[in-house]
Structure 1
Amino acid sequence: MAEQDELQSEQLEAGDEAGGGDELRGEAVRPVSFEELHWSQVWQLPVLLLGIGMFVLGVWLVLPADVKHDFDGKLKSAREYLHANNLDAAAQTLADLNPVLFNSDQGTAAHEAEYWYIAADLNYLQNAGDRMIQTQTIQENNKQILKYYDDAVGLGAELGPQAIKRYAETLIALGRMDQVRSVIDQLKDDHMTRQEIFKRLVAHEFDRRWVTDGKGLVSLIAEYSEMLEHLGKADRVVEDVWLTDMRAALMLEAGDGEAALDFLLKRIQRLNGRASDRQLAGLTVKLARAYELEGELESAKRYYQLVQQHIERDDDLNADIYTGLGRIALAGSDPQGVQQAQAYFATVVKEYPLGIQSPYVGALLGAADCEARLGEFASSVEHFRQAAQMLSEQARPGDRRRDEMLDVVQSHIRFASENKEYEQALEYLKLLRPLYGKDLPARVLLSFATTHEKIGEQAAAKAAAIDPRETGDASVARVASFKRRNKEGVIHFGTAGDYYLEHARAVTIGDNAGHGESLWKSAENYDRANKWEDAVDVYAEFVKTRESDPRRVRAMNHLGRALFTLGQYKPAIEKFSEVVRDHPRTIEAYEARVMLAKAYEKEGEVEKALRGLEQVVVDDPVVTPDSKQYREALIELGRMYYKQIGKDDGAAEQAIETLTKGVERYGSDDEGGVLRFMLADAYRKSIPAIDQELSRKLTNKQHLELNAERSQRLKKAQEYFHQAKTDLESRPEGTLTPLEQMYLRNSYFYKADCAYDQQHFPLAIELYEEAARKWEHDPSSMVALVQIVNARCELGQFQEAKLAHDQAIWQLSRIPEEAFNQPGLPMTRQHWEDWLRWSSELNLFKMNSKKGNVMPVSQ
């Protein structure tokens, strides 16, 4: 048998090594039965079965056990934490419970209902102090509270009285008054809960009284009063005092002292004997306030002091009493009364800082008012600032105490303005900004506007007082101060324009006259601030919207001027033309003609400009030579004729005629120097036409007459140049405009030119030397040096001419070539040609050592 087994094993091994030897040999393999197998051949099977069993056991062991959760215990713990006011522990318990409860099949609807019930109570308690604040976050929390309670009820929970009150209070915070009413209506049998909810509703509406008309609140108070029948005597008197206090407060806040007196006198008597002394004390303070409102200050003072005698020193009611006594002391306005009032208010501020719902804000305002009256400006501003900060941070919209502060501050703004302390008035005004933010009341906007305008006017007046052109002081410090004052004025005028425009927008519907006035003032201040784009916009709005306003035509003129200043000449022409066409006999039309002429000139339509001005100054029955309009037209006409000399043959004569009138009428005014220069230059520029006539074949008489006219005109030109120089030099240095500065400089040279053209060469040399000294650092000095050379040569003084020529060459080397391109330089082509001619001839001269003079060498 052993041999047979060994043989069979060898056959099997041989078959394996052959890779299927049976098939290779073509022989079938006989199946071997289990009984035929030896144990050594199947020992692996038990091991395999044991491994599988152990694997199954391991898997079974690591599977989670079916743990039974104590949801009842956990929820009970969370509820107990709430009762102990341990909100953090309650919140942590719910947080731990949430993923297990809502992901387990052991939790029931009752468990989930209790969970949401507790979550709602927790959320309510966590936000108890902020519930009524109208922010998005708080309101979202309030909505979450309602959702949790609703979820709890939906899962079968029944809310208890406390939860119902919380639910109702949350509805009140969200402003869902209809739903609150529905909750109250469902509590017909639970009088206590119903009353508590209704009381919360009344209290909430009382807090919102600033933004309601009060009628609904009065109805609620009456309705609440009817709900108190079930209360016992002690509880009833508490509610009666509360309602009495509330109704009296409404009357006092409405300023109805008489109604408050009638009401409180009756109610205090009814409550006397039922209410405690402390309860009656609060009502008596309101009675004193009612007497105060009615002007019965002695009665008010007596009741304030009566109450004070029966309460403790640390009683909060003292704050109301001291504040009332302070107002009474302040009513006399005498210095002693103001000081006494200041002491009362200071006591409240120091000892009873109870916040926004107490008299603290009133005491701050009273203290600031006293300090302002006593001239303690800095401390006054600080107390006003504190009051404004408290009101802006905590007061609800519509809080009338803001208006109270506004009235007090405005009184001091008016006082400061009446005393021309506009900077102080502005500091008071700035205190009002935190109260209203961007939504300033119309009267505050107007105060800002007028105050900035007054400060601008003050700055402009101070600038005028130190104007170097008027004072003769052109020191660096004075000029800097003058510019600073002007800049300050411009800034305030611009700000005033902004505020006036904002005020106009605010009163567009309710105050038509105020709208028109502020719109006009806005544009006017933009004008003064040189804010031309803004001025254009506002004047255009005024013209469009104020059709019946008598200032509309004037606004059209101002609009045209602003457009002109911006270089928009064609639109300006349209506006000025409209005024002249539609309102021809108005002062504005004559003013428009002057500006229309300037605009036409800018557009190159000089003839239209001249014709328009001539209509004003020639035989107009309305405009007289004494009027501002005539003056502007005449001066502008003279200037235009002057600029046309050389372009129009008759311009010189017309300029002389017009400018002569101008000098005769307005020569002593500020324009005198400029008018005399233009007249002198018109005479000078008329000489080439006379020289051209002299070059023609004339009779001896004609020749003599023209020469006499030429000489006369040059003398007049010389005389007027001298007057122009004197006028302009009388103005402080540094105060002349660039044009006036050029006219002053050229007066020196043209005056010398007139002497030269008359062949008065010695005088011309003297005048040129004066000009050269005066303007040695200016390119125009070359005119004087060149003309000195020419004049010396004309006199035959060739040695002196050579020296002058060398000096001119040296001066020429010092001056950049581009400097001679500046406009208005009094050096013409003729000057250069004459100098070049004489330079050429001087180079041919040689010194005669015997005679000591220069003689020309014959060619």
Structure 2
Amino acid sequence: MDGPTDPVQISQASGKAAGKGSAAHQIKWAEVWHAPVLALSFALLTGGLTLAVLSRPAPDHESQLQRVEHLLTIERPEDAISLLNRSLHPYESRGELDDAQHRNFHLLVGRALYLGQLALGLDVEENHRRILEAYVEAERAGASLNADDNYYLARTLISLGRVDQALLRAERQPRDQAERWLDIQRRAINRDIDHPGGDQSRALTTLSAFLTDPRTSEEERAWAAARQGRVLLDMGMAAGAIDRLLRDLQRVSPKAGEERARLLILLAEAYLAEGRERESRLHASQALEMLPHTSSLHPEAILIMARAEEASGETETARERYGRVIDRHFEHNATVRALLGLAETEAFLGSTIESIAAYRQLRDELDAGRGHRDVSVEGVMRSLLRRYVESFQREDFRSALAYAQIADSLYEASQVPPEVLLAVAEARSELASGLIEAGSGDPLAPRGIAGLDPASREEARRHLIAAGGYFQRHAEKMVLRDEERYASSLWRSADAFDLAGSGDRAMRAFLEFQSGFPGDARQAEARFRLGQLYQSRGEYRLASGFYRELIEGKDPEVKNVGLFADLSYVPLAQCLLLDGREEEHEEAERLLRMVVDGRVVREPDPRTRRDALVELGKHLLITGRYAESARLLDEVLRRFPTDQERALNRFRLADALRLEAEEMGRQLDGSIPDHQRRTLTSQRRTRLDNAMGMFEKVIEELESRPRASLSAVERESLRNAYFYRAACAYDLGDFTTAVRYYDAAHERYANDPASLVALVQIVNAFIEQGQLDRARTSNERARRYFASLPDDVWDDPYLPMDRTQWERWLQSTSRLYAMQEER
């Protein structure tokens, strides 16, 4: 029936506050009753509900109340609730019922709601609370609860955790209703034992009274003895449990198979807790002998046997028993404990993959809401962390990570324990370190992922980003708990993000560290790495500030400055060269020369000297001081043969030799004495020969590596090495070799505008050889290719085609036209 909201309703959802009317106890109806003619509203009365005013004469309230009572007697609580709502509540809410009717109304509301919820098989706290309110109001109004109502109220009080009040109500049960008294006692005991927050001491007191009461049957005493044993075990009183259970077993008939087996299983568990595995196995075996395989106790007995075997060192046998519980009794909650046992025994036996699989299955069962009294989320987490430590200590970091990740997945993100966050972070960090160490062939290379192959680089980056995030979360958990651990995890977070190339996150962490721990020994390194991060972002002024502070030692609080002051000279010079004015370029060169000459680095570091040699060599190359550049770059190659940038440094050296040879060529074009000309010609040829050989080695080395592993600078150097190798042959006058090399360059870079250089130089080489027909054909090919290119491609300053090549092509084209005209 649709219409106005019914104030007396049953709720199906717990945990939500319900509205409250003037005198009604409003309960949400749990679900639609199975009776096809009845549909009750789910809404709650929130006050001020307007009900239809009945136009008929005032009803006979007494007869209505009697009718409600009759409906409850014949087990029709739904109709009783409907009648209370429509025929009595409007008058009760307006205060029109007399005292006796008011009293009976609330008494019947409590009774109807209790029986209604019972009929639906519900156990909802909101409903229990409304039932209690109704009975309390009835008693306040002077009602005397009969045996049924006292029983209903006692059960309701137990459901609400008010066990003491429920036990007092139980004493009001007539002596001839022993079953109800026993039921309340049993429910009170179970509530205290099984419900979180239960009072185990009170449970023992209730059990003692239960066991000594003459109304308790032998079967019920056996149940109470088992419950008493469980409480003692849960309270850590295994010795007391053993003594009590040994006496109780004498009172239970051997024919009472199920109940006797239950006590034997508890006795086996108590002996196991005492470390007496032999007695534990004996009693578990006795329980198994008297239990059918279909008994719910059967898997519990197998479980105790497996645990006793595991404790005795019979790990393989224990593993088999745990597996039997899982395979044969999967629907039983003992499976949850068996999965934990299986996971631990598999790990002990070295079957790590199987152990991880068992832990994952256990996690899934816990997520699905299944449980076992001996298995808690925290207990599983502790077990997983023990496996993590074992794997970590044997440097099996992948397994360590798997265990830590399962522990992580047991919790909501905000609830993950700090030790789990740290475990995940450390395992990720170690995996990344392993990839970095395995992929670095240069002991002087900066620690990082840049030198790794693409697959390893991406894997290491993922591990580092994840490690940084978990270290950061651990640091946040430690802020108010442990300052030392907070600092450590914050630092490791910054370090991981930095290595992964996540500059923004690394910078935030280093800045937090710098401001939060001014006296920490790592302050100098933090400032140095902040300088590097700003430098990588192109913020050279900010980076220079950090480097200068370290070099000049302005902050007396910063400790251990020496090494990082030394390391700051080269990057400061780089910043000045990239962003400075002419006078700052001069300062940069001065700084680099100071490092190269050994005048400033107090603790010699080969990386610092190497970097200074390379940077100064590059600077001299750019500024046209080719001979000195070549000398420095040659020293780099000789002293650091395994340097990760050896191909680039060899290219730079070859280019310096090539450009020095060009400079010599210009001198030879002038007027100089013959003996100088002979010397200069020989030196020029040597420079070109050496440069050509070096370009050849650059090509071989870079072509041997996967193209995806090459940096942008390496790809550009490889391209230019092809063209400069050919240029050296051309300048040596070896035009046949030059054509061959230019053909190779054109074929390798057919779709690159740089290939025009090759086509043009082939034309020039053929003219130099007098092969005019081939020169014309090649020239037409070059012109067609030139015409196909847009003008903006020549804006690239790194194309290996400078003014000299354009001038040569123009001259060659003019010669070809002139020869054609002569014909």
Task: Settle same-fold status: TM greater than 0.5.
Answer: yes
Aligned-partner Cα distance in 2 for 1:437–1:105:
50
Report what 1:554 is aligned to: 525
User: Are 2:656 and 1:678 aligned?
Assistant: no
Report what 2:711 is aligned to: 737
Report what 1:220 is aligned to: 202
Aligned-partner Cα distance in 2 for 1:602–1:332:
71
CA 1:403–1:446 in structure 2 vs 1: closer, same or farther (change >3 Å)? same
Report what 2:101 is aligned to: 111
* 1:638 aligned residue (617, 638, 641): 617
Matches within 5 A, 1:259-298: 259-261=237-239, 263-268=240-245, 271=248, 282-298=262-278
CA 1:340–1:228 in structure 2 vs 1: closer, same or farther (change >3 Å)? closer
What letter corresponds to residue 94 of structure 1 in structure 2? L
* 2:113 aligned residue (123, 147, 150): 123
CA 1:671–1:274 in structure 2 vs 1: closer, same or farther (change >3 Å)? closer
Shift of 1:576: 3.3
Aligned-partner Cα distance in 2 for 1:600–1:670:
25
* 1:587 aligned residue (547, 563, 567): 563
Kindly provide the CA deviation profile for residues 624-677 of structure 1, in whole angstroms up to 9, marking residues without a partner as x.
8772232223222222332333xxxxx445423422322332356443332232
Report what 2:418 is aligned to: 442
Matches within 5 A, 1:46-445: 66=57, 68-69=59-60, 71-82=61-72, 85-98=75-88, 101-102=91-92, 107-127=97-117, 138-160=124-146, 163=149, 167=153, 170=156, 203-209=190-196, 217=199, 220-221=202-203, 224=206, 232-235=213-216, 248-250=229-231, 252-253=233-234, 256=236, 259-261=237-239, 263-268=240-245, 271=248, 282-309=262-289, 315-332=295-312, 334=314, 336-338=316-318, 340-342=320-322, 344-346=324-326, 349-350=329-330, 353-355=331-333, 359-367=334-342, 369=344, 384=359, 387-392=362-367, 394=369, 401-410=376-385, 431-432=406-407, 435-438=410-413, 439-445=415-421
User: Are 2:607 and 1:628 aligned?
Assistant: yes
User: Are 2:757 and 1:767 aligned?
Assistant: no
CA 1:574–1:388 in structure 2 vs 1: closer, same or farther (change >3 Å)? same
Q: Is the CA contact (8 Å cut-off) linking 2:154 and 2:170 kept in structure 1?
A: no
Q: Is the CA contact (8 Å cut-off) linking 2:428 and 2:463 kept in structure 1?
A: yes
Shift of 1:507: 4.0
Aligned-partner Cα distance in 1 for 2:155–2:118:
10
Report what 1:597 is aligned to: 573
Report what 1:570 is aligned to: 541
Q: Is the CA contact (8 Å cut-off) linking 1:597 and 1:610 kept in structure 2?
A: yes
CA 1:341–1:65 in structure 2 vs 1: closer, same or farther (change >3 Å)? closer
Aligned-partner Cα distance in 2 for 1:764–1:730:
25
Matches within 5 A, 1:515-534: 515-534=486-505
Q: Any gaps of 5 or more consecutive residues in structure 1?
A: 1-62, 466-480, 646-650, 849-853, 855-859
Report what 1:819 is aligned to: 793
Q: Is the CA contact (8 Å cut-off) linking 2:471 and 2:489 kept in structure 1?
A: yes
Aligned-partner Cα distance in 2 for 1:495–1:104:
65
Aligned-partner Cα distance in 1 for 2:546–2:120:
61
Kindly provide the CA deviation profile for residues 503-544 of structure 1, in whole angstroms up to 9, marking residues without a partner as x.
333344545555444434333332343322222222333334
CA 1:675–1:252 in structure 2 vs 1: closer, same or farther (change >3 Å)? same
Q: Is the CA contact (8 Å cut-off) linking 2:475 and 2:486 kept in structure 1?
A: yes
Q: Is the CA contact (8 Å cut-off) linking 1:674 and 1:740 kept in structure 2?
A: yes
Q: Is the CA contact (8 Å cut-off) linking 2:68 and 2:83 kept in structure 1?
A: yes
Aligned-partner Cα distance in 2 for 1:458–1:399:
39
Report what 2:589 is aligned to: 610
Shift of 1:127: 4.6
What letter corresponds to residue 280 of structure 2 in structure 1? A
User: Are 2:659 and 1:659 aligned?
Assistant: no
Aligned-partner Cα distance in 2 for 1:577–1:171:
75
SS at match of 1:825: coil
Shift of 1:736: 3.6
Q: Is the CA contact (8 Å cut-off) linking 1:504 and 1:515 kept in structure 2?
A: yes
CA 1:789–1:141 in structure 2 vs 1: closer, same or farther (change >3 Å)? same
Aligned-partner Cα distance in 2 for 1:674–1:250:
75
Kindly provide the CA deviation profile for residues 402-425 of structure 1, in whole angstroms up to 9, marking residues without a partner as x.
233334444555666678776666
Q: Is the CA contact (8 Å cut-off) linking 2:277 and 2:308 kept in structure 1?
A: yes
Shift of 1:385: 5.0
Aligned-partner Cα distance in 2 for 1:824–1:224:
91
Aligned-partner Cα distance in 1 for 2:354–2:727:
71
Q: Any gaps of 5 or more consecutive residues in structure 2?
A: 1-53, 442-451, 554-558
CA 1:122–1:388 in structure 2 vs 1: closer, same or farther (change >3 Å)? farther
Shift of 1:291: 1.8
Shift of 1:324: 0.2
Kindly provide the CA deviation profile for residues 36-57 of structure 1, in whole angstroms up to 9, marking residues without a partner as x.
xxxxxxxxxxxxxxxxxxxxxx
Kindly provide the CA deviation profile for residues 163-193 of structure 1, in whole angstroms up to 9, marking residues without a partner as x.
4565566566556x6xx76888899988999
SS at match of 2:329: helix
Q: Is the CA contact (8 Å cut-off) linking 1:680 and 1:718 kept in structure 2?
A: no
Shift of 1:704: 4.9
Report what 1:469 is aligned to: none
TM-score between both structures, scaled by the size of structure 1: 0.72
How many residues are matched?
738
Shift of 1:297: 0.6
Shift of 1:93: 3.7
Aligned-partner Cα distance in 2 for 1:788–1:548:
67
Shift of 1:298: 0.3
Aligned-partner Cα distance in 2 for 1:300–1:226:
26
Q: Is the CA contact (8 Å cut-off) linking 1:672 and 1:724 kept in structure 2?
A: no
Q: Is the CA contact (8 Å cut-off) linking 2:668 and 2:681 kept in structure 1?
A: no
Report what 1:839 is aligned to: 813
CA 1:105–1:682 in structure 2 vs 1: closer, same or farther (change >3 Å)? closer
Report what 1:7 is aligned to: none
Matches within 5 A, 1:414-493: 431-432=406-407, 435-438=410-413, 439-453=415-429, 456=432, 483-493=454-464
Report what 2:18 is aligned to: none
What letter corresponds to residue 597 of structure 2 in structure 1? V
Aligned-partner Cα distance in 1 for 2:268–2:529:
59
Shift of 1:827: 1.7
Aligned-partner Cα distance in 2 for 1:772–1:293:
84
Aligned-partner Cα distance in 1 for 2:575–2:189:
71
Q: Is the CA contact (8 Å cut-off) linking 1:554 and 1:588 kept in structure 2?
A: yes
CA 1:319–1:234 in structure 2 vs 1: closer, same or farther (change >3 Å)? farther
Aligned-partner Cα distance in 2 for 1:717–1:368:
69
Name the larger-Rg structure.
Answer: 1
CA 1:704–1:676 in structure 2 vs 1: closer, same or farther (change >3 Å)? farther
SS at match of 2:686: helix
What letter corresponds to residue 446 of structure 1 in structure 2? L
- How much identity, in percent, do the aligned residues show? 24
CA 1:120–1:584 in structure 2 vs 1: closer, same or farther (change >3 Å)? closer
What letter corresponds to residue 202 of structure 2 in structure 1? L
User: Are 2:534 and 1:536 aligned?
Assistant: no
Aligned-partner Cα distance in 2 for 1:814–1:495:
49
Kindly provide the CA deviation profile for residues 45-84 of structure 1, in whole angstroms up to 9, marking residues without a partner as x.
xxxxxxxxxxxxxxxxxx9664753x44443443454455
CA 1:310–1:556 in structure 2 vs 1: closer, same or farther (change >3 Å)? same
Shift of 1:141: 3.4
Shift of 1:767: 1.7
